[in-house]
Amino acid sequence: MVVDQIRVAVVGGGIGGLAAAGALLHRGVDVHVYEQAPELGEVGAGVLVTPNSLRLLERIGLAEELARVGGPVGEGSTYYRHDGQAVSRILTADSNGWNGMYGMHRADLLAVLADALPTERIHTGHQCVDFRQDADGCTVIFANGEEVRADVVIAADGINSTLRLHVVPPVEVIDSGSVAYRGLVPAKAVPSWRPGVSQLWMGERKHFLTYPLRRGELITYIAFVPSQRQAAESWSAPGDADELRAAFAGWDEPVTTLLDAVETTYWWGLYDRMPLDRWTSGRLTLLGDAAHPMLPHLGQGANQAIEDGFALAAHLATAADISSGLQAYEAQRRPRTSRVQHEARLNGRRYDSHFDDLDERDSQITNTVDLRLWLYDHDAELEALGKASSAVQAG
């Protein structure tokens, strides 16, 4: 297949869509991104970039910029019981000991990915409303009246994907019974805070996660609490900071100290979905949350979307034709992301202490090192190319 003659339209300008575009462009593919918002942007929240996606992003020349905006997360990262009793270390490196982990403000990561693309390849103000395809190609129809013709369309349009309905029937939404409060605190507002680490406290039906952003200048927190209220599946719904503090009253002193410094918080309804039976229909394929929305309890939503993008780019650039490339991509990615979805559910139960015996819970937490190595050692791009992929660092 002559890659510079393939036209690819990526619908969705989030982390997964921009990463896919970067990977495709790196391989010489003619790719354009179409985002419904009037400008690219993300809410003030954090995302962990872990070794399995960082090695891919570094491979296309983003190492320096990611290091500039990221908050390194390393040795000393720890799981605790709610009262501060240490349970286990949090793994922050792959099997080779490469500590390829950053906490990043989502807006910073998005900016790095966008800046790696020529500006003429990103089109904002394009809300997808319809799609059709034929033997010669496919067409995306936008609310602004524009129609775009392409050889391949990548649906990176998120958890409420419009294009997913052209691949599978509507997907049942499963309420997790929890909501997550999240927000940012300046590190200087909490002088006693341990720098450079992720910390996670676990209590009855609740857990509290923190890690650094922006070279350690900011601390992001995500506080998971049970709720029967129907919260928006959004990161920008305003929350009540006093209600948040009350939910964690009496917890370990670093938790309550951090929460005392919270002025504004947002909450996010946590909903799950079962793995899809397929991701691809003709020239249309799904990527990221459109394909495999997952609970956040392994910190892999964005990382798996980035893996998707690099695997898809490799398959499209090397396959004999578009159909076989898309089918190979799906065959590679669906088993892995289905397992990650499943393991994220299980990890949420561990973090929220759904155990009669907390020693058993703590033992399981300690033993998730093997799961983390399975995640962090993986190289989705090299797997797509049929090469050995265990613990390969960006070179």
Catalytic residues: 211
d(CA 351, CA 297): 8
Q: Say which amino acid occupies 120.
A: E
Instruction: Give the residue ranges of DSSP H helices in the chain.
Output: 15-26, 51-59, 63-69, 106-115, 241-247, 253-260, 301-318, 322-351, 358-367, 369-376, 380-384
Tell me which residue has tokens 């669906």: 334
On whether the CB atoms of residues 384 and 315 are closer than 8 A, the answer is: yes
Backbone angles phi, psi at 253, to 5 degrees: -55, -40
On whether the CB atoms of residues 149 and 139 are closer than 8 A, the answer is: yes
On whether the CB atoms of residues 94 and 51 are closer than 8 A, the answer is: yes
In 3-state terms, what secondary structure has residue 135?
Answer: coil
In 3-state terms, what secondary structure has residue 228?
Answer: coil
